[in-house]
Amino acid sequence: MKAHGRARKKGRQPVPLAALAPAGAVSAALCLTRFENHVPHVSLLILLLCMIGLAQLMPVDLTRGGIRVVFALPYVAALAVFCGPTAALGGDFFGLIVGAALVLFNLREPEGPRRTAANLCISAISILAGSFLMHAVEAATRRQLLWALGFIIGYGAANIVLVAWMESMLNKRSWLGAELSALGLTGRSIALYTLLGLAVSSLIAERMQWLVPLSIIPVWALRTSLLYQTKLYSNYYGTISALNLMLQRAHPYTHGHLERVAETAEEVARRLGLQPARARLVREAAILHDIGKIAVDEEILDKPAKLTPDELEHVRLHAVWGAEILSPVREFSAIVPWIRHHHERPDGNGYPDRLSNAEIPLESKIIAVVDAFDAMIGSDEPNGKRSYREPMSVKDALAELQRCSGTQFDPEVVRAFRTVVEAEVA
Amino acid sequence: MGILTVIILTLMTVATFWLLYYSRIILSKQLDERTNESVKAFGTAIELRFPTHKGLSKRVITLSEAVAKQLKLSPQQRRDLELAGRLRDIGLCAIPYRLVNDLPANEWNVADKATYFRHAEVSGTMLEAIPELSRLAPVARFHHTRYDGADDPTSPAGLSLPMQSRILKVVADFVWYERLQGSLIAREILKAGRGSAYCPLAADALLTVLTSSRVDQREHSLV
């Protein structure tokens, strides 16, 4: 796996090369000096390098601006087992050079020099981890198949951990979250990938290397499966983006507000002890919580005066409409009730269903607090202020939340929210 | 060949076939279902904003499918036409609420009409932002563009317009006038606009569909 990305987006961090470069250099030096290498058979070397080059033609980009999978490990592992870690290092670097050459011919999206350098470092560290494990297995058994297994496990584990770490640094996500999303998408494929690595090594051990080119068929199958999974993933996030875009076109003041609410809501969810995947879902629900406002008359929503009872009733329907809009999408089934109930109150005076405190989902309570706070303080962006109210200071808004704690807002959520805001201010 | 190698190669072969079946059949079906669900969500949002549009899309899609069959479009073109038919109006979210909900369409002045028809451009821009659906952006962008290009000299015209846009223009206009003025007048408008407002191929296909099939007829009880 490699980390890749387009031009850096707002809020993204530079590639953490300062941390990776020394580790990569030391790893490469250890690979070259620490392990015993064998004189490789030229035809085997050429065959495996060709397969590595071929694998570079079939990459899969797993997440937006995140992880790129190239199916070269089975061949790199075979190089490590039959030629030694130096050849494996050379083979992996050769793959990166082929990848860079493909960019020159517009056959692949560019990564940027810092990305390529970071990938070289990750590659060196992964090969060192694989080689150490292979060396340990080698001492215990003479079976080359198990050496290959040792290399694949060591290389694969180090690679997944490092790439997810880099992605978490770049996108300011939690490391565990990035790790889980990478594993979640590729988990089923990892078993088959390991099997493929073993198959390539066993064919070479049986002196049947002429069959190795056929391994491109399982590589193609793996690629097809990952491509579909990635399409499902991007369909999900594409739907969220499109709905968000529709709301922003209908009510421009929501621009910026939804992103701020989503980011803070995820953080509050984490503080309240929700699992990372659940907290991520809270973020997505927070982005979509006002989607029902698409159906609300913008002249009522932007009205500077007090709303009439009829107008208030019309605006309040947005919670029901939001749930109605999202309900056809099965993947939103968990967040539909959170959106329907994000205006419910612990004292039972909320809408649309006047639920009691115990009946209101925690996720709705989180969105309610963060949404109210952001609406109170407004923002400096154009359209960031509500027409009907002057923005409050952070201190006054926190005091207002505290005042309404227990009636309008859940006290525990307000407490968690305060710690998040205070940490941000500090 | 060692027994272990045989086992590994057998497992590998079985897993490869299973993975290909899983991807090509199961995941592909899932992807289609998810895309349809998302498109339904967009449609629900627009119908909630503008209740007068409720049911319009369904009729437009039914007729467009019949026209596409009549024109012998490929399955992929028909699938894109169906998706574009559902998504063509997502740009309506940028159109003022009161223009559509409080003012009857036959009372719109030139400025109101210009405002309303901007939704096609907005739809196109929004679809461009969604990688999975960006191929439909030109179809949505030009689904109200006249065939002769008389309304906008800068936009493509004639056969340069996507086939699906030409079909949607004919069908959507027909459904609109059918609702406002009845089926007979809508057909006359269609015939009058053949070759100017509407692509002759698409207009003829729609007229054939309307006259030769029972697409718009109710099935009456025989009892």
Count of structural domains, chain A: 2
Residue A100 in any domain: the answer is yes
- The answer to whether B98 contacts A299, with C-beta atoms less than 8 Å apart, is yes
Verify cis geometry, omega within 30 degrees of 0, for the bond prior to A352. yes
Structure token pair of residue B154? 């800068």
Residue B223 in any domain: the answer is no
Residue B5 in any domain: the answer is no
Pick from A108, A97, A127: nearest CA to A24? A127
Q: CA-CA distance, A250 to A216, in Å (whole number)?
A: 49
Residue A338 in any domain: the answer is yes
Residue B135 in any domain: the answer is yes
Structure token pair of residue A64? 């937006």
A282 and A367 Cβ atoms separated by less than 8 Å: yes
How many residues are there in chain A? 426
State the pLDDT confidence band at A8, using cuts at 50, 70 and 90.
very low
Q: Does residue A372 have a pLDDT over 90?
A: yes
Interface test with B, best of A64, A202, A211, A222 (most B CBs within 10 A): A202
- The answer to whether B98 contacts A202, with C-beta atoms less than 8 Å apart, is no
As a dihedral over the C-alpha atoms of residue A137, residue A139, residue A142, residue A145, rounded to 10 degrees, the angle is 20
Minimal Cα distance from A328: which residue of B? Answer: B37
B48 and A325 Cβ atoms separated by less than 8 Å: yes
- The answer to whether A295 contacts B96, with C-beta atoms less than 8 Å apart, is no
Q: CA-CA distance, B102 to B139, in Å (whole number)?
A: 29
Count of structural domains, chain B: 1
Residue B222 in any domain: the answer is no
Which pLDDT belongs to residue A12?
Answer: 52
Chains A–B, number of C-beta pairs less than 8 Å apart: 142
B106-109: long-range contacts, CB 8 A cutoff, minimum separation 24:
B106/B180
- The answer to whether B133 contacts A222, with C-beta atoms less than 8 Å apart, is no
Minimal Cα distance from B43: which residue of A? Answer: A325
Q: How far apart, in Å, are the Cα atoms of B176 and each of A302, B52, B116, B165, B205?
A: 31, 11, 14, 16, 18
Residue A55 in any domain: the answer is yes
Question: Measured between CA atoms, how close is B75 to chain A, in angstroms?
Answer: 20
Interface test with B, best of A329, A330, A331, A333 (most B CBs within 10 A): A329
Q: Does residue A237 have a pLDDT over 90?
A: no
Assign residue A224 the CATH number of its domain.
1.10.1760
Range of the domain at B175: 32-144+152-212
Same domain? For A42 and A172 the reply is yes
Residue A327 in any domain: the answer is yes
pLDDT digits (tens, 9 = 90+) for A130-188: 999 999 998 898 888 899 999 999 998 898 888 878 877 776 666 666 666 666 556 66
Verify cis geometry, omega within 30 degrees of 0, for the bond prior to B153. no
Structure token pair of residue A119? 């990938």
Residue A227 in any domain: the answer is yes
A36 and A201 Cβ atoms separated by less than 8 Å: no
Q: Does residue B53 have a pLDDT over 60?
A: yes
Assign residue B66 the CATH number of its domain.
1.10.3210.10
Residue B15 in any domain: the answer is no
ipTM of the complex as predicted:
0.79
pLDDT digits (tens, 9 = 90+) for A70-119: 889 999 999 999 988 989 999 989 998 888 888 777 666 666 677 778 88
Q: Does residue A321 have a pLDDT over 90?
A: yes
Pick from B176, B145, B166: nearest CA to B53? B176
pLDDT digits (tens, 9 = 90+) for B170-208: 999 999 888 888 888 999 999 999 999 999 999 999 999
Compute the average pLDDT of residues A209-236.
89
| Residue numbers in B near A146 (CB within 8 A) | none
As a dihedral over the C-alpha atoms of residue A244, residue A248, residue A253, residue A256, rounded to 10 degrees, the angle is 50
pLDDT digits (tens, 9 = 90+) for A260-319: 899 999 999 999 999 888 999 999 999 999 999 999 988 888 888 888 899 999 999 999
- Is the torsion defined by CA of A344, A349, A352, A358 positive or negative? positive
Minimal Cα distance from B128: which residue of A? Answer: A242
| Residue numbers in A near B16 (CB within 8 A) | 192, 217-218, 221
Which pLDDT belongs to residue A231?
Answer: 84
Higher pLDDT, A200 or A69: A200
pLDDT digits (tens, 9 = 90+) for B204-217: 999 998 887 655 55
| Residue numbers in B near A202 (CB within 8 A) | 2, 4-5, 8-9
Buried/exposed code over B67-83 (b: 16+ C-beta within 10 A; e: otherwise): bbebbebeeebbebbbb
pLDDT digits (tens, 9 = 90+) for B121-175: 999 988 887 777 888 999 999 999 999 888 877 888 889 899 999 999 999 999 9
Range of the domain at A109: 2-235
Same domain? For A146 and A16 the reply is yes
Compute CA A374 distance to the chain's CA centroid, rounded to the nearest angstrom: 25
- The answer to whether A229 contacts B27, with C-beta atoms less than 8 Å apart, is yes
- The answer to whether A238 contacts B131, with C-beta atoms less than 8 Å apart, is yes
Residue A243 in any domain: the answer is no
A359 and A337 Cβ atoms separated by less than 8 Å: no
Last residue of a domain, one of A178, A208, A235: A235
Compute the average pLDDT of residues B58-67.
89
Question: Measured between CA atoms, how close is B183 to chain A, in angstroms?
Answer: 30
Q: Does residue A20 have a pLDDT over 90?
A: no
Helices and strands of chain B, counted as H and E runs: 11, 0
Same domain? For A177 and A122 the reply is yes
| Residue numbers in A near B129 (CB within 8 A) | 241-242, 245
A276 and A174 Cβ atoms separated by less than 8 Å: yes
Cα three-residue angle B137-B27-B59, rounded to 5 degrees: 45
- The answer to whether A235 contacts B27, with C-beta atoms less than 8 Å apart, is no
Percent of chain B, pLDDT > 90? 32
Residue A52 in any domain: the answer is yes
Same domain? For A70 and A197 the reply is yes
Which pLDDT belongs to residue A101?
Answer: 83
Last residue of a domain, one of A235, A270, A298: A235
Tokens 């397969």 locate to A51
| Residue numbers in B near A229 (CB within 8 A) | 27
Same domain? For A172 and A29 the reply is yes
Q: Pick from A198, A235, A246: which is nearest to B34 by CB? A: A235
Interface test with B, best of A314, A324, A325 (most B CBs within 10 A): A325
Last residue of a domain, one of A235, A265, A291: A235
Weakest mean pLDDT among A231-240, A404-413, B214-223: B214-223
Q: CA-CA distance, A227 to A68, in Å (whole number)?
A: 11
Interface test with B, best of A234, A235, A240 (most B CBs within 10 A): A235
Buried/exposed code over A115-126 (b: 16+ C-beta within 10 A; e: otherwise): bbbbbbbbbbbb
Q: Pick from A198, A203, A232: which is nearest to B34 by CB? A: A232
A352 and A319 Cβ atoms separated by less than 8 Å: yes
- The answer to whether B93 contacts A294, with C-beta atoms less than 8 Å apart, is yes
Interface test with A, best of B1, B8, B127 (most A CBs within 10 A): B8
Same domain? For A92 and A11 the reply is yes
Same domain? For A82 and A157 the reply is yes
Same domain? For A218 and A283 the reply is no
A323 and A340 Cβ atoms separated by less than 8 Å: yes
Same domain? For A256 and A227 the reply is no
A259 and A370 Cβ atoms separated by less than 8 Å: no
Residue A30 in any domain: the answer is yes
- The answer to whether A325 contacts B126, with C-beta atoms less than 8 Å apart, is no
- Is the torsion defined by CA of A14, A170, A55, A110 positive or negative? negative
| Residue numbers in B near A218 (CB within 8 A) | 12, 15-16, 19
Assign residue A338 the CATH number of its domain.
1.10.3210.10
